[in-house]
Amino acid sequence: MPNQKPSLKRRTFLSAGLAAAAGGAAISCGGGGTGEGWRFFTAEEARTVDAICERIIPADRDPGAHAAGVVNYIDIQLAKRFKKHQAAYRKGVAGVDAVSRARFGKRFAELPPDQQTQALTEVGAKSGAFFNLVLNHAMQGFYGDPRHGGNRNMASWRMLGLPLPPVRGRQHYDDPKAG
């Protein structure tokens, strides 16, 4: 369905990015920002990266990377810790869209899931380093702490059945003798 209502999806998506940007007010805007709420990505790049992450961790009975805001994690980190990866993303994301256009005539985010998977497999074979970078970052954004901008609503932790909210310890519940 994402490709049936692209405009709506885009809007919710951008507002999600903006909300998170407001939440992280201490973080300055990255140089490549477009003023649309992203720190590093252009809106188009963000859409592509969001779609890539969703293929890496797709929604099923539990939320996937899109719902967990994984692209937001990557965008925030590219403006901070991952500055050294900025060039790789700029080039790599363009490369993914180029592969998609060449193979299927559309940008990556506009392809149906099975074609996205095919395009990504091709990217993985052609530019493995970039693919692995996004793969690692997507996993961090999905399974890591929500404080870094991903794992919205602790989506992955709920999926794994980790007691929520994180309790301080266990012994003071289980063992009344504990000092």
Partner 1 sequence: MALKHVNAVIVGAGAGGGVVAKELSAAGLSVALLERGRWYSAADCRKDDLCNQRTQVLGAKFGPDDERNPRVAVDGKGRETVVVASDGAYSNNAACVGGGTFSYGAMAWRYMEKDFRMRSTYGAVAGSTLEDWPIDYFDLEPYYEKAEWEMGVSGDVSNNIFKAPRRKPLPMPPLPPNREYRILSPAAKRLGLHPFDIPMLRNTVPYNGRRSCMRCRWCVGFACEVNARNGTHNTVIPEALATGNCELRTDCMTREILLDARGRATGVAYFDANGRLQEQTADLAIVCGGAVESARLLLNTKHRLFPNGLGNRYDWVGRNLQSHTYPAAIGLFEQEVYDDLGPGAGIAICDYNHGNPGLAGGAMLANEFIRLPYQFLSAVPAGVPQWGPEHKNFVRNAYRRTISIMGPVQEMPVFDARVQADPKVKDYWGIPVARLSGGKHPHTLEIAGFAAAKAEAWLKEAGAIRTWKRLPGASLSGGQHQAGTCRMGNDPKTSVVNKDCQLHEVDNVYVIDASVHVTNGGFNPALTILANAYRASGNLLKAWKGSKARS
**Smallest gap, in angstroms, from Cβ of residue 117 to partner 1?**
7
Chain residues that interact with partner 1, rule: CB under 8 A:
55-58, 60, 62, 64, 77, 81, 117, 135-136, 138-140, 143-145, 147-148, 156-157, 159-163, 166, 168-172, 174-175, 178-179
**Smallest gap, in angstroms, from Cβ of residue 127 to partner 1?**
15
Nearer to partner 1, 8 or 162 (CB): 162
Surface-to-core class of residue 10, CB atoms within 10 Å of its CB (0-12 exposed, 13-18 middle, 19+ buried): middle
**Smallest gap, in angstroms, from Cβ of residue 171 to partner 1?**
5
**Smallest gap, in angstroms, from Cβ of residue 11 to partner 1?**
27
- CB 72 within 8 Å of CB 81: no
Nearer to partner 1, 105 or 169 (CB): 169
Nearer to partner 1, 28 or 171 (CB): 171
Nearer to partner 1, 7 or 129 (CB): 129
